Amino acid sequence: MQNFNDTIAAIATAIGESGIGIVRLSGRDALKSADEIFISKDGKKPSEFKAYTTHYGWIVEDGCRKASPPAEFVDEVLLTVMRAPKSFTREDVVEINCHGGIIALRKTLDLVLQNGCRLAEPGEFTRRAFLNGRIDLAQAEAVLDIIRAKTDSALKVSAEQLKGSLSKELGRIRQALLDALSLLEANIDFPEEEITAAETKTLCAGLACAEKELSRILGSSATGRVMREGISAVICGKPNVGKSSLLNALLKQERSIVTPVAGTTRDTIEEIIDIRGIPVRIVDTAGIIEPRDLVEKKAVARSRHYIRNAGLAIMVFDAGRKMEKQDEILIKKIRGKTAIAVVNKIDLKPRLQKEKLGRFFSRIVEISAKKMKNIDLLEEAIADLVYKGKVTSPEPVLVSNLRHIEAIRRAQKLIAEAANPVDNGALPVELIAQDVKDALGCLDDVLGRRFSEELLDKIFSEFCIGK
pLDDT in tens, 107-139: 999 999 999 999 999 999 999 999 999 999 999
SS3 category, 88:
coil
pLDDT confidence of residue 137? 96
Fold of the domain spanning 228-387: Rossmann fold (3.40.50)
Taking 90 as the threshold, does the pLDDT of residue 421 lie above it?
A: no
pLDDT confidence of residue 265? 47
pLDDT confidence of residue 430? 86
- State the pLDDT confidence band at 65, using cuts at 50, 70 and 90: low
Of 27 and 267, the structure prediction assigns the larger pLDDT to: 27
From 208-212, 301-305, 320-324, 385-389, the region with the lowest mean pLDDT: 385-389
Residues with Cβ within 8 Å of residue 82, at least 6 apart in sequence:
51, 52, 88, 92, 93, 94, 95
Instruction: Go through the chain and tell me how many residues it has.
Output: 467
Q: In what helix (H) or strand (E) does residue 228 lie, and over which residues does it extend?
A: helix 221-229
Nearest Cα to Cα of residue 247 among 226, 228, 265 = 265
Asked if 193 and 187 touch (Cβ cutoff 8 Å), the reply is: yes
Query: For residues 33 and 94, what is the distance between their CA atoms, to the nearest angstrom?
Result: 9
The domain locations on the chain are 8-134, 142-220+398-448, 228-387
SS3 category, 445:
helix
Of 93 and 359, the structure prediction assigns the larger pLDDT to: 93
Mean pLDDT over residues 357-363, rounded?
88
pLDDT confidence of residue 139? 96
Architecture of domain 8-134 in CATH? 2-Layer Sandwich (3.30)
- State the pLDDT confidence band at 169, using cuts at 50, 70 and 90: very high
Residues with Cβ within 8 Å of residue 415, at least 6 apart in sequence:
177, 207, 210, 211, 214, 435, 436, 439
The CATH number of 142-220+398-448 is: 1.20.120.430
- State the pLDDT confidence band at 15, using cuts at 50, 70 and 90: confident
Question: Residue 213 burial (CB < 10 Å; 0-12/13-18/19+)?
Answer: middle
pLDDT confidence of residue 184? 86
- State the pLDDT confidence band at 393, using cuts at 50, 70 and 90: very low
Rounded-to-5 percentages of helix, strand, coil across the chain = 45, 15, 40
Q: In what helix (H) or strand (E) does residue 124 lie, and over which residues does it extend?
A: helix 124-131
Asked if 381 and 398 touch (Cβ cutoff 8 Å), the reply is: no
Where are the strands (E) in 259-353, listed by range?
269-275, 278-284, 312-318, 338-344
Mean pLDDT over residues 427-435, rounded?
84
State the chain's mean pLDDT as an integer: 86
Taking 80 as the threshold, does the pLDDT of residue 75 lie above it?
A: yes
- The share of the chain scoring above pLDDT 70, in percent, equals 88
Query: For residues 422 and 424, what is the distance between their CA atoms, to the nearest angstrom?
Result: 6
